């Protein structure tokens, strides 16, 4: 896991000020969270998420993935109220997803929302969805059935 974190950091730093930079930063936070380094993940993600909030026209995919990982990191730091505020802020982005990812995001978001019930506050953010129910939706549930998400990056070309 440390090698993956180092590689993710290297790619993020090499990306400079590109549109993918926030997603690459979120992927670094994903690996930090997988190592239970939640405070570091929060410190990385808060400025990224706050930047998104200041630009409401920014892509919902970016905002959701960064917000999800920030939310989970805050939750695991014992900051459930702050986490719930972030969760509430990213919930309106769920209907904006398109393509094959839609049923996964909708189902995981619905299930992950249960983390904010009082009796669930001691549970693990990353494992809750997978432990709460058998695999949902389809084979991609192995990935989307986790609390922390690594964003996929795609190459777009006008040619």
Could you tell me how far CA 75 lies from the centroid of its own chain?
A: 12
Averages of pLDDT over runs of 10 residues in the chain (159 residues) are 82 80 91 95 95 79 93 94 95 90 89 82 81 73 87 56
pLDDT of residue 135: 67
Would you state the pLDDT for residue 9? 84
| Axis crossing angle, helix 125-132 with helix 21-34, rounded to the nearest 10 | 80
DSSP code per residue over the chain: -HHHHHHHHHHHHHH-SSTTHHHHHHHHHHHHHHTT-HHHHHHHHHHHHHHHHH-TTS-HHHHHHHHHHHHHHHHHTT-HHHHHHHHHHHGGGGGG--GGGHHHHHHHHHHHGGGGSGGGTTS-HHHHHHHHSS--SSTTHHHHTSSS-PPP-------
Provide the pLDDT for residue 155: 47
Give CB contacts under 8 A, 24+ apart, made by 48-54.
48/22, 49/86, 51/22, 52/22, 53/89
Residues whose CB falls within 8 Å of the CB of residue 22, separated by 6 or more in sequence, listed in order: 48, 51, 52, 62, 66
Q: Is the pTM of this model over 0.85?
A: yes
Task: Break the chain into its structural domains and give their ranges.
Answer: 2-144
């Amino acid at each position: 896991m440390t090698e993956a974190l180092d590689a993710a950091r290297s790619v993020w730093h090499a990306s400079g000020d590109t549109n993918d930079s926030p997603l690459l930063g979120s992927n670094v936070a994903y690996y930090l969270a997988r190592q239970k380094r939640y405070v570091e993940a929060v410190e990385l993600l808060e400025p990224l998420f706050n930047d998104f909030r200041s630009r409401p026209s920014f892509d919902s995919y970016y905002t959701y993935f960064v917000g999800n990982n920030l939310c989970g990191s805050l939750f695991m730091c014992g900051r459930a109220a702050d986490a719930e505020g972030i969760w509430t802020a990213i919930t309106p982005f769920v209907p904006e997803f398109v393509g094959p990812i839609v049923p996964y995001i909708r189902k995981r978001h619905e299930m992950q929302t249960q983390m904010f019930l009082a009796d669930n506050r001691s549970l693990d953010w990353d494992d809750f969805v997978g432990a709460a129910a058998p695999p949902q939706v389809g084979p991609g549930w192995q990935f989307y059935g986790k609390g922390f998400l690594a964003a996929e990056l795609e190459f777009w070309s006008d040619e």
